[in-house]
Amino acid sequence: MRVALFGGSFDPPHVAHQMASFWAVSTGQVDGVLWAPCRTHPFGKDLAPYEDRLQMCRLAAAGLAGAEVSTLDRDAAAEGRTLPALRHLIAQRKDDEVFLLVGADLLQERARWHGADEIERLARFLVVGRAGFGGTPELPAVSSSAIRAALGRGEDVSALLPQAVLAYVHERGLYGTR
C-alpha cells in the first residue's frame, strides 16, 4: 500500500486540506492519506487543544476516500517534528511505501526541518500548490491562520471550512467564537 503522511497543525482543518487529500487518492498518487495533527507546534506556535484539532480532523476527513486520522504525533512523542513521526509510521507499516503530502509553501522551508536529509531518504514528497508558491494542483488560497482571524472578528467562514468542522468550532467556542 502507498500511504501519505499528512501532518500539520490543522488549526482548524479546512477545505483545502480536504482537497489535497482527495487529490492524492483520487489521482492514484497514493492509496490512502493519514491525517496526523501535531500535538505541539515545533516552533512554539500556540494551537487550539490537541483533542479539539484531532476531532476536527476526524470530521473533515469523514467521507473522504482513503482518508484516515491518526494520533501518530502523540504516539511517537514527535512534538510536531516530521522525522520521529515518519520513523514511527515506517516502523508500524513495514510493507507500505510512505509519502509526505505537503504544500509547496512548506516544501520551501524543508531545509529548516529537523533531520531534513533523512526525511528525504525515508519518504517521497507529494506536493500540492499553494497560492503564491506554485505547484500542481494549485489549491485555493485558504489558510488556517486567516480563518482563525476571521472567526475572531465574527466573519462568515462557511465557504472555507467543512460544515461539521464549523459547527464543532462554534459548539466548543474555539477561536473566539463565544
- Kindly list the domain boundaries of the chain, sorted by start residue: 2-140
pLDDT of residue 14: 97
Determine if the peptide bond prior to 42 is cis (ω within 30°): no
Per-residue pLDDT of 29-52, as tens digits, reads: 999 999 999 999 877 889 999 999
According to CATH, what is the number of the domain 2-140?
A: 3.40.50.620
Taking a C-beta distance cutoff of 8 angstroms, is the pair 30, 99 a contact? Answer: yes
Residue type, 49: P
Q: pLDDT by residue (tens digit) across 49-83?
A: 999 999 999 999 999 999 999 999 898 887 888 99
